[in-house]
Every structure is written in C-alpha cells, then in structure tokens.
Amino acid sequence: MSRNATRIGALRERIGDEILLEGWLYNRRSSGKLEFLLVRDGSGIVQCVAVKAELPEGVFARCATVTQESSVRVTGVVREDKRAPSGVEISLRDIEIVGASTDFPITPKEHGPSFLLDQRHLWIRSQRQAAVLKIRHTLVQACRDWLDADGFILADAPIFTPSACEGTTTLFETQYFDEKAYLTQSGQLYNEATAMAFGRSYCFGPTFRAEKSKTRRHLIEFWMVEPEVAFATLDDVMVLIERFVEGIVGRVLEKRREELKILERDVAPLERVRAPFPRVSYDDSARLLRGKGVPFEWGNDFGATDETVLTEGYDRPFFVHRFPAAVKAFYMKRDPGDDRLSLSCDLLAPEGYGEIVGGGEREDSLDRLVERIHEHKLPLDAFQWYLDLRRYGSVPHSGFGMGIERTLTWLCGIEHLRETIPFPRMLNRLRP
C-alpha cells in the first residue's frame, strides 16, 4: 500500500474525508445509472458507489467495464453506512485500473474442491479463505504469546534430521550430501534437549509425514507447536494443555469474531472451552465404544470414526489418556501401574473433530529407553545424543504437540483441514 492510501479496515475513522483506496475488484453490480463496486484490500471489503449523473463520462465508463480481480485505485468520500460490514460506503470520485484481470477463473458460482485447490494461489483471495487464514494468523500469535508469557523459551528444532521420531512408516527420506536424512516428523526429541537447558521450551514449525492416507485430517506438511517441560509428569502436562487450549481459543474469540461470522461458525461451543477438561482413560473409552456397538478391539489406536463417536459424549475438548504402549512412539514412558499402557494423552476436540493434541511423559531411564529403541528396531547409533539426556541429569519430563491445522479446522467449524493452510501439501498434491 502506498503511503497516502487508507486501508479499508481503517475507513471508519475517516468518515467525511476524501481518501485513496488501493485494492482489487471483488464484485460489481450495475443498474444503468449506478455502479456498485465491491473493492477488497485484504483488510476488508467496501462498496464504492459511482453515480453516472455526478461523474465525468470517462470515469463512469471505466467503472462500468472494470472486471473481477482487476487491481484499482479508487478516490472517493467516506460515508457512514451502518448496514455495511465495514460500517462505511465510498462515494466514488475517480478510479484508475492498475492491472486488468481477464476471465478470473474463480467466479461467484459453485466450483468443485479439486478445481479450487488447483487455483489455490487465487482462491485465497476469497472472503471465506481469507477469513480462515486470518484466524490462523491469530491462532499462531496466540500460541506464541501464551507460551512466552508462561516462561517458555522458543528453541526451534531442525527440519533435516538423522532419525525417526514418530515411527518409520511416515518418514520422508532425502539426500543430505553423501548421507541420508529425514524431514522432521516432530521436534520433540530436540525439545527434550532444550527443556533440559531452559526448564521449559517449545518449538513451532513445519513437520512432515509421508501419510499414505487420503483423509480430511491428514496433511503431508503441517505445522505443530510443541512445548516440553522438565520435571513435569503426565498429570502436569494435561493441566498445561487445558490451560493453553483455553487461552488460545479465548484469544481467537476475542480477536476474530468477524471472521468466525463470515464462516458461519456457531461460537457457543467455543465459548464453553474452559479448563478443566474431562479426562477419560483409553480403557474406559474402548469400553464406551463397544457399549455403543462399535466393533473396537482393545489394543488398537482410534480411527477417525471411533474418535467421532467418542466426542458425542462431550460438549468441550477432553483427554483420552494411557493408550496401549504398542500404538505409541518408542519414547513414551510406561504406566508404572500397568506395563501394557503408556503415560500418554490425546486431546480430542468436540463436535466430531477428534485429536488435536498428542503428548505425554517421556521415558527418563537410560536402560529402558535403550530397550525401547531395540524393540522398535531403530538404529541405536542415531540416538546416542538423545540418550545423553538420560546420562547427564535425567529428570521426569513431559510435553505435547498441537497440530495447527487440526485445531483450526475445529475452530473454524469446517469440513476439511486443506483450507486451513495457505498452500496444502497432500497425497497427490504438490501444486501450486
């Protein structure tokens, strides 16, 4: 934006003034003597009204020909309009077409998801998509602010890693000069090192999973915020998760009402997101599923449908804790009360959304951790640095990872997580 232009979001403070707007034509309606131009600039949409009788012929003619998504500079006077979402309307005085747009591929009519995903670089200009991405911006900021205020140090983990964190079936292998490397699945192992340096730390970045499944909940590249706390137990981390989730949801409700409204999100369920959250064991969840007639077998991980059924019993996020060790990663500490179980927890979002957070307590004994690495058939050498954390002042410690896109899908109340990231990477989709 040039220095002398006003953003649409700031027009309310300029009522009565002549201003310059810089943006793109969102839509246009005409009625012969009048042209109604909807202009967007990223901060909002405003209606500019051109009256034929009041304008030089050339100006009105330009208004009548400007096409969808042409970039424009509009000069006009700001008038109050209580019915408009922006609260104002512009009486157009002049218009300059900066860059014409011919046959913009996304029209107000319905398009299929595959077409829209091919046009993602243009689709993000639409009001709904922009609303989701603004909520994403606020969510990311809320995560950082909350953790920073709670004394966490941001210590980001590497993307290129020498070993697996979350199991070998979803690893992306890549060449790293003359050795093999893997794209990170989670920064957790590195967080465990930084937590031993800072007491509490977090990383926040992209993570990668070569997920062969095509679902509404899986991306190949997704963002995760991962806090880790020294001396914390499973119970401590569940308290951390619920305080954190309550805080960030509160922030989104406070800052993004307008965008949630654009998405027609019922905010009542989000307003109920108050700690403490219910806690239910894996055992009880398995029993509950069978009680509802779901043919669920003890020992399995929950599938998407199982999770959806589980969420029916709750009006707010809830924990499932103590999953069978066999379905969780090698680093999970076993439950001292039952060796088949791990000190793990997932947080499930209500309304059918399911898992948004995975976390738990880490194995802190050197010998047991070496045993697990063998059991999981992982290469011991690659984990020597990680084992050092148990050799030099090991402490009980716990942490979690929250998927940004899963969380946003729930907050926005949308069907599929592909709309929650600017450029989704999915099975069979690397473009644009």
Q: Residue 28 or residue 200: which is nearer to ligand 4AD going by CB?
A: 200
Q: Which pairs count as long-range contacts for 327-330, CB under 8 Å and 24+ apart, including other chains?
A: 327/299, 327/300, 327/301, 328/360, 329/165, 329/166, 329/167, 330/369, 330/372, 330/373, 330/375, 330/376, 330/378
Tokens standing for residue 354: 């399911």
For 192-244, the three-class secondary structure string (H helix, E strand, C coil) is: HHHHHHHCEEEEEEEEECCCCCCCCCCCCEEEEEEEEEECCCHHHHHHHHHHH
Tokens standing for residue 55: 């304008």
Task: State the nearest-atom distance from the C-beta of 158 to ligand 4AD, in Å.
Answer: 15
Classify residue 118 by burial, with Cβ atoms within 10 Å: 0-12, 13-18, 19+.
middle
Task: State the nearest-atom distance from the C-beta of 301 to Mg ion, in Å.
Answer: 8
Task: State the nearest-atom distance from the C-beta of 35 to ligand 4AD, in Å.
Answer: 45
Rounded to the nearest 5°, which phi and psi values hold at 279?
Answer: -125, 130
Q: Which residues on adjacent β-strands are paired with residue 78? A: 90
Q: Is 357 in the site for ligand 4AD (CB under 6 A)?
A: yes
Q: Is 246 in the site for ligand 4AD (CB under 6 A)?
A: no
Distance (Å, whole) CA 296 – CA 375: 26
User: Which of 23, 317, 350, 401 touches ligand 4AD by CB under 6 A?
Assistant: 401
Q: Residue 76 or residue 187: which is nearer to ligand 4AD going by CB?
A: 187
Q: Residue 60 or residue 331: which is nearer to Mg ion going by CB?
A: 331
Distance (Å, whole) CA 122 – CA 131: 14
Site string for Mg ion, 354-393 (x = CB under 5 A): ----x-----------------------------------
User: Which of 406, 409, 421, 426 touches ligand 4AD by CB under 6 A?
Assistant: 406
Q: Is 44 in the site for Mg ion (CB under 5 A)?
A: no
Q: Residue 41 or residue 228: which is nearer to Mg ion going by CB?
A: 228
Of 208, 190, 45, 55, the C-alpha closest to 125 is 45
Distance of CA 97 to the CA centre of its chain: 36
Q: Is 209 in the site for ligand 4AD (CB under 6 A)?
A: yes
Residue 188 contact, options Mg ion, ligand 4AD, none, Cβ 5-8 Å cut-off depending on partner type: ligand 4AD
Contact 321, 361 (CB under 8 A): no
Q: Residue 6 or residue 161: which is nearer to ligand 4AD going by CB?
A: 161
Q: Which residues on adjacent β-strands are paired with residue 205? A: 224
Q: Residue 52 or residue 216: which is nearer to ligand 4AD going by CB?
A: 216
Binders in 184-203 for ligand 4AD, by CB under 6 A? 186, 188
User: Which of 63, 270, 349, 356 touches ligand 4AD by CB under 6 A?
Assistant: 356
User: Which of 76, 354, 399, 424 touches ligand 4AD by CB under 6 A?
Assistant: 399
Q: Is 218 in the site for ligand 4AD (CB under 6 A)?
A: yes
Residue 399 contact, options Mg ion, ligand 4AD, none, Cβ 5-8 Å cut-off depending on partner type: ligand 4AD
**CA contacts within 13 A on the Cβ side of 307:** 21
Q: Residue 62 or residue 418: which is nearer to ligand 4AD going by CB?
A: 418
Site string for ligand 4AD, 299-338 (x = CB under 6 A): ----------------------------------------
Q: Is 324 in the site for Mg ion (CB under 5 A)?
A: no
The three-state secondary structure class of 10 is helix
Q: Residue 188 or residue 194: which is nearer to ligand 4AD going by CB?
A: 188
Task: State the nearest-atom distance from the C-beta of 37 to ligand 4AD, in Å.
Answer: 39
Q: Is 399 in the site for Mg ion (CB under 5 A)?
A: no
- Cis peptide preceding 276, ω within 30 of 0: yes
With residue 397 as reference, give the H or E element that holds it.
strand 397-403
Distance (Å, whole) CA 66 – CA 38: 11
* Chain residues that interact with ligand 4AD, rule: CB under 6 A: 165-166, 186, 188, 209, 211, 218-219, 222, 224, 226, 355-359, 399-401, 403, 405-406
* Chain residues that interact with Mg ion, rule: CB under 5 A: 358
